[in-house]
A = this chain, B = another copy of it.
Amino acid sequence: MVTREELNEKPEANEHNLFEAKVLDKGFVRLVDMMGDDYAAVKAARVSYGQGLKTPERDKALIFYLMEHGHETPFEHIVFTFHVKAPLFVARQWFRHRIGSFNEISQRYTEIKEEEFYIPENVRVNVPEDRQKAVPVEDEGLLEKVKDLMVKSFEESYKVYKELLSLGVARELARIVLPLSTYTQFYWTVNARSLMNFLNLRADSHAQWEIQQYAIAIARMFKEKCPWTYEAFTKYAYRGDLLEA
By a beta-carbon cutoff of 8 Å, the part of chain A in contact with chain B is: 1, 4, 7-8, 32-37, 39-40, 43-45, 47-50, 52-53, 70, 73-74, 76-77, 79, 81, 83, 87-89, 92, 95-96, 98-99, 101-110, 118, 120, 123-126, 131-132, 134-135, 142, 145-146, 149-150, 152-154, 156-157, 160, 163-164, 167-173, 175-182, 185-187, 189, 191, 208, 239
Contacts and interface: CB of A to CB of B under 8 A. Distances in A.
B7 A83 contact: no
A96 B96 CA distance: 8
A179 B161 CA distance: 11
Contact of A177 (B1, B53, B179): B179
A1 B53 CA distance: 14
A173 to B, nearest CB: 6
A134 B7 contact: no
List the number of copies, as a whole number: 4
A24 to B, nearest CB: 11
Contacts of A77: 33, 81, 101, 103, 187, 189
A142 to B, nearest CB: 7
Given A109-B131, A142-B169, 7 more contacts: A1-B36, A34-B35, A48-B106, A50-B185, A125-B170, A149-B163, A157-B177
B103 A173 contact: no
A8 B134 contact: no
Contact of A33 (B36, B47, B53, B73): B36
Contacts of A40: 33, 81
A88 to B, nearest CB: 7
Nearest to A33: B35
A170 B76 contact: no
8 contacts: A8-B52, A48-B104, A73-B102, A98-B99, A120-B176, A123-B173, A150-B160, A178-B179
A101 B125 contact: no
B177 A150 contact: yes
A105 B186 CA distance: 24
Contact of A49 (B47, B106, B186): B106
